[in-house]
């Protein structure tokens, strides 16, 4: 169970994006965002752009109770999602992951803006946030390092139904504030 005072499905608004609880009516819009095969090329679930693979994935996101749809503030187009969850090896913790964005939002400030909103929400309750990355996801490792998270250790965990070795990254409230204050 995640930290008892933490709300895993807030609505968070930034300058260009909004994060809100994922709902059943988001299936078609999130599939449209996920339907580009290049999004999943560096991911273990390479065929998630196919409807037959996406639908069970979407169902698991809904069932998690911590998934947020990421939308453009102007127009409300769904551009991806991210999720709060408890780290399997840190009871009562808050973790962020299961994130993807449309390719037209890669390389700019969208991931940082999204994570800034999510970290700010988490750091109102906890002192550290965990991120878990499949060792094969180099792009995610680079993006996570740019946020100021540090690779703490590799651990044998079960994440998203997959057992294996995961990279365990963490960032503290103090490190986040030192890096991005002002």
Model confidence over 123-174: pLDDT tens digits? 999 999 999 998 888 888 988 898 889 999 999 988 777 788 999 999 999 9
**End-to-end distance of the chain based on CA atoms, in angstroms?**
33
Give me the helix-helix angle, 173-180 and 110-123, nearest 10°. Answer: 140
CB 112 within 8 A of CB 104: no
SS3 101: strand
Indicate the average pLDDT of the chain: 91
pLDDT of 181 higher than 70: no
Domains, the chain, with CATH or none: 12-131 (3.40.630.30)
Distance CA 141, CA 131 (A): 10
What is the edge-to-edge ordering of all strands in the sheet holding 17-21? Answer: 12-13, 17-21, 67-72, 78-85, 95-101, 128-133, 162-172, 150-159
The Cα 58–Cα 79 span in angstroms is 14
pLDDT surpassing 80 at residue 182? no
Is 159 strand, coil or helix?
strand
Q: Which helix (H) or strand (E) holds 153?
A: strand 150-159
pTM value? 0.92
Q: Are 12 and 118 in contact (CB under 8 A)?
A: yes
DSSP state, 150? E
Q: What is the pLDDT of residues 30-40, one digit of tens each?
A: 999 999 999 98
Q: Tell me: the pLDDT tens digits for 51-107?
A: 999 999 999 999 998 999 999 999 999 999 999 999 888 888 999 998 999 999 988
Using alpha carbons only, give the angle 57, 62, 65 rounded to the nearest 5 degrees: 130
Which tokens go with 86? 């408890």
């Amino acid at each position: 169970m995640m930290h008892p005072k933490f709300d895993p499905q807030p609505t968070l608004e930034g300058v260009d994006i909004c994060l809100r609880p994922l709902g059943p009516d988001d299936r078609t819009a999130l599939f449209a965002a996920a339907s580009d095969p290049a999004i999943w090329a560096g991911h273990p679930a390479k065929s998630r752009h196919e409807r037959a693979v996406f639908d069970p994935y979407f169902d698991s996101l809904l069932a998690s109770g911590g998934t947020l749809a990421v939308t453009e503030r102007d127009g409300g187009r769904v551009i991806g999602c991210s999720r709060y969850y408890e780290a399997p090896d840190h009871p009562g913790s808050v973790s962020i992951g299961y994130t993807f964005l449309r390719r037209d939002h890669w390389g700019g400030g969208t991931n940082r803006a999204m994570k800034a909103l999510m970290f700010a929400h988490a750091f109102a309750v906890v002192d550290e946030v965990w991120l878990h990355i499949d060792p094969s996801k180099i792009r995610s490792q680079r993006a996570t390092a740019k946020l100021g998270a540090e690779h703490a250790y590799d651990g044998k965990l079960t994440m998203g139904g997959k057992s294996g070795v995961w990279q365990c990254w963490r960032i503290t409230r103090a490190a986040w504030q030192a890096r991005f204050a002002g």
